[in-house]
Amino acid sequence: PTVLVLNGPNLNLLGVREPEIYGRTTLADIEEMCTRTAAEAGLSVRCLQSNHEGDLIDAVHEARETTVGAIINAGAYTHTSLALHDALKSYDHPIIEVHLSNPHARESFRHHSFLSPAATAVVAGAGAKGYVHAMEILAEDLDA
């Protein structure tokens, strides 16, 4: 069984982008952490990052039949994308929404998430480790 690990805009710059907020761990590191944690639970991962909203939506559609769960950090599309919300509503498996930072402790324009109503769980403010926690939550969910 395969899990989708989907990252949205600007997350390709992790490690160099505002490290005081997002930390110094790169996306490649995070994807490796996800792969390792998933393997311990007998899961494979498909990792994908895009700066384009439509590509993220296509990835969710493609994953509908080929994956059993998803971890998604949609970056700023979290706060703007009704289309991504709708795509996630078409995805009939557990979805864990992840944010490195805690958007609720930041600017008010980050307080609303279009994704949360479609998510099984939300992990925010735990930095890169949040992806590991998300994978553990997903693995437990899938066992149940």
87 vs 100, beta carbon nearer ligand DQA: 100
2 vs 116, beta carbon nearer ligand DQA: 116
Annotated binding site for substrate: 73, 79, 86, 100-101, 110
Residues 76-135 that bind ligand DQA (CB under 6 A): 76, 78, 99-101, 103, 110
Catalytic (active site) residue 99: yes
- Residue the block writes with tokens 């599309």: 77
Query: What is the spatial distance between Cα 36 and Cα 18, in angstroms, rounded to a whole number?
Result: 26
What's the CA angle centered on 47, arms 13 and 37, to 5 degrees?
A: 105
41 vs 126, beta carbon nearer ligand DQA: 126
27 close to 11: Cβ distance less than 8 angstroms = yes
Residues 5-44 that bind ligand DQA (CB under 6 A): 10
What's the CA angle centered on 128, arms 35 and 45, to 5 degrees?
A: 20
DSSP string over 78-90: GGT-HHHHHHHHT
**In this chain, which residue has its C-beta nearest to ligand DQA?**
75
Annotated binding site: 73, 79, 86, 100-101, 110
| Residue choice 25, 67, 73, 81 for contact with ligand DQA (CB under 6 A) | 73
Query: What is the spatial distance between Cα 79 and Cα 137, in angstroms, rounded to a whole number?
Result: 23
Catalytic (active site) residue 131: no
**22, 77, 91, 131: which is the annotated catalytic residue?**
22
CA 29 to chain CA centroid, nearest Å = 14
Beta bridge partners of 46: 4
Residues near ligand DQA (CB under 6 A): 10, 73, 75-76, 78, 99-101, 103, 110
Catalytic residues: 22, 99
